[in-house]
Amino acid sequence: MNSDHGHLTSDIAVRKAEHIDLVLNADVEFRRSTGLDGFEFVHEALPELALKEIDSTTELFGRALRAPVLVSGMTGGTPLAGQINERIARAVAAAGLGMGVGSQRISFERPELIETFQVRRFAPHALLIANLGAVQLNCGVTPDDCRRLVESIEADALASRLNPLQEVTQPGGDTDFRASSPRLPRSAARWDCR
């Protein structure tokens, strides 16, 4: 990987801390409807089934889930982010669910921060999804780099984040999205993954 992001290293760590701070302390709640409020559950008075017959379990990337629920990838790369990932891992392990970590891009330049993403020991059997922005494939990241990201946290899959709007609005964002779409399947093919 070419490291023309050298000057961004600290920026990324600062940005990760800012993201957490914003969510915890700023008024960033999503205001508009998600559309889910358009749905209503109708009480079924004569259900003709036993609760024990309802099976919400499923399997994803070879991992059993007690229900199709994932805690989406959010963070990593700072001590606080590491604590958050640990707590999420302990919670999904207890609940039999799955989780993702936030973008691991910082770990290319700051390998010592990989530990803030390494939650496998807190959730030995849980579905764990690694994470990297798809645009990084345009910034010199290779499919083998991606494989190393997954292996570095003993993850079961890699989430390739498609976030051009965030990249163009954040300082130091990567904004060359050309050829991303063909690069993704080509990378996945290199991995022989789904």
Ligand X SMILES: Cc1cc2nc3c(=O)[nH]c(=O)nc-3n(C[C@H](O)[C@H](O)[C@H](O)COP(=O)(O)O)c2cc1C
Contact track, ligand X, 149-168, x by CB under 6 A? ----------x-x-------
Which of 57, 72, 83, 142 touches ligand X (CB under 6 A)?
Answer: 72
For residues 80 and 52, give the distance between their C-alpha atoms in angstroms, rounded to a whole number: 40
Figure out which of the listed residues 85, 107, 131, 136 binds ligand X, where binding follows CB under 6 A.
131
Question: Which residue type sits at 13?
Answer: A
- Residue closer to ligand X by CB (options 16, 183) is 16
Near ligand X by CB under 6 A: residue from 78, 103, 136, 187: 103
Least CB distance to ligand X at residue 62 (A): 21
Stretch that binds ligand X, among 52-60, 71-79, 107-115, 137-145 (CB under 6 A): 71-79
Question: Which of 8, 19, 137, 150 is in the footprint of ligand X by CB under 6 A?
Answer: 19
- How many residues touch ligand X (CB under 6 A)? 12
> DSSP letter string over 83-134?
HHHHHHHHHHHHHT-EEE----THHHH-GGGGGGT--GGG-TTSEEEEEEEG
> Considering beta carbons, is residue 30 or 43 the nearer one to ligand X?
30
User: In whole angstroms, how far apart are CA 183 and each of 83, 136, 139?
Assistant: 33, 10, 12
User: 4: Cβ–Cβ under 8 A, 6 or more apart, which residues?
Assistant: 139, 140
Nearer to ligand X, 30 or 51 (CB): 30
Give CA separation, 171 vs 37, 161, 174, 187, in Å: 34, 18, 9, 27
Cα separation, 16 vs 135, whole angstroms: 18
Binding site residues, ligand X, CB under 6 A:
19-20, 23, 72-75, 102-103, 131, 159, 161
